[in-house]
Amino acid sequence: MTMEQSTALAPASRAVQLLGTDLSEKNLKLHLEGLSGVDAVGLEARAAALATRSIKTSSKVWALDTIIRLIDLTTLEGADTPGKVQSLVAKAINPDPSDPTTPRVAAVCVYGDLVADAVEALGAAHGSGGPDGIAVAAVATAFPSGRASLAVKLADTAEAVAAGADEIDMVIDRGAFLAGNYGKVFEQIVKIKDACRRPDGTSAHLKVILETGELNTYDNVKKASWLSILAGADFIKTSTGKVQPAATLPVTLLMLQVVRDWYRLTGEKIGVKPAGGIRSSKDAVRYLVTVAETAGEDWLDPHLFRFGASSLLNDVLLQRQKLQTGHYSGADYLTID
């Protein structure tokens, strides 16, 4: 199968640049299979070693604030309502009412049909994720399973973008990936990327969720990361949060190694987003250390690294208060959302 359509698409320019203009499934497969393997024991040992860094005093203060700045505050429940989204947005804008110096989170992450509610609730606080304001991220493409036709996925994406989503969190077709049908996965990403374009020519940022818990091996994670980047991903993201295991430190380390390698090869920076299962500040600090010591400190920026999390924020706020007051408060001193 020749992917003529893909080659014609602008977002696939990375693949064309790396693999040549005769982009074909065979070509892509050869490239992915030529990547050096991952030794699971060694990868996990490295992650465990990074997790022993001791982040104290001034470093801890900075780390806690940075974690908040990097959070995609998320609600992805069947029971989500406009009211729930409003409440989430209020928390995103003002995480700790007792301390106005608390930074804001990077984005709120919701289902596509609630994007408009999130945009409205944010009002003037809406921005592109960073100092200028909180972004709205929408999960799309038949999240979380991705089991729908391409037409449905494209429509899902286009609607969310039209409703004002700044970022689209898509899922890859894990079935196609595991069946070895890399071309199909690639083409879908390219097309979703295209569907992220707005009429004014700008584009919503595309985060590609690999669902590493279903890919199962580190070699697969590496291939899927590389494939997603070639297809045009702005971010590669570990998980939907609906499958266990979700984000783990070794998987995130591996994805950071891939974006570091991509940067070394092309000078282009791709973002990484671990999502699901990161609940404590201690855990999140380990991710910061891993980012800084793998991809580099430049990546500790909302445009290059995010935490997909919901309960993490309150634990960080608890630790932040503890650093300021010298004692722990309790759950009742933090707002539930």
**65 vs 337 by CB, closer to other proteins:** 65
**21 vs 52 by CB, closer to other proteins:** 52
Give the binding range for other proteins (CB under 8 A) out of 19-27, 34-42, 178-186, 227-235.
34-42
**Which string of x and - marks every residue 262-291 that binds other proteins (by CB under 8 A)?**
--------------------------x---
- Whole-number Å distance between alpha carbons of 233 and 66: 24
**In Å, what is the CA distance from 118 to each residue of 74, 121, 123, 134, 164?**
11, 5, 9, 10, 9
- Token match 């990074």: residue? 50
Task: Answer yes or no whether residue 33 interacts with other proteins by CB under 8 A.
Answer: no
Give the binding range for other proteins (CB under 8 A) out of 32-40, 126-134, 155-163, 169-177.
32-40
Size of the site for other proteins (CB under 8 A): 27
* The one catalytic residue among 237, 283, 301, 315: 237
Exposure string over 308-328, b if 16+ CB within 10 A, otherwise e: bbbebbbbbbbbbbeeeeeee
**160 vs 285 by CB, closer to other proteins:** 285
* Burial class of residue 181, CB neighbours in 10 A (0-12, 13-18, 19+): middle
Q: 273 an active-site residue?
A: yes
| Distance of closest approach, residue 259 Cβ to other proteins, in angstroms | 13
| Distance of closest approach, residue 293 Cβ to other proteins, in angstroms | 5
Q: 207 an active-site residue?
A: no
- Whole-number Å distance between alpha carbons of 175 and 181: 9
- Whole-number Å distance between alpha carbons of 74 and 244: 17
Task: Answer yes or no whether residue 327 interacts with other proteins by CB under 8 A.
Answer: no
Computed on alpha carbons and rounded to an integer, the radius of gyration of the chain in Å comes to: 19
- Whole-number Å distance between alpha carbons of 29 and 182: 7
Q: What share of the chain is helix, strand, coil (3-state, %, to 5)?
A: 50, 15, 35
Contacts with other proteins in 43-102 (CB under 8 A)? 43, 45-46, 52-60, 62-63, 66
The binder of other proteins chosen from 113, 120, 293, 337 (CB under 8 A): 293
Contact 76, 123 (CB under 8 A): no
Contacts with other proteins in 121-140 (CB under 8 A)? none
Q: 219 an active-site residue?
A: no
- Token match 């690999």: residue? 210
Task: Answer yes or no whether residue 335 interacts with other proteins by CB under 8 A.
Answer: no
The binder of other proteins chosen from 39, 99, 132, 268 (CB under 8 A): 39
Q: Two tokens at 227?
A: 């494939």
| Distance of closest approach, residue 309 Cβ to other proteins, in angstroms | 20
* The one catalytic residue among 194, 273, 283, 301: 273
| Distance of closest approach, residue 62 Cβ to other proteins, in angstroms | 6
Q: In a 3-state reduction of DSSP, which class is residue 267?
A: coil
Contacting positions for other proteins (CB under 8 A): 36-39, 41-43, 45-46, 52-60, 62-63, 66, 257, 288, 292-293, 297, 300
Active site residues: 169, 237, 273
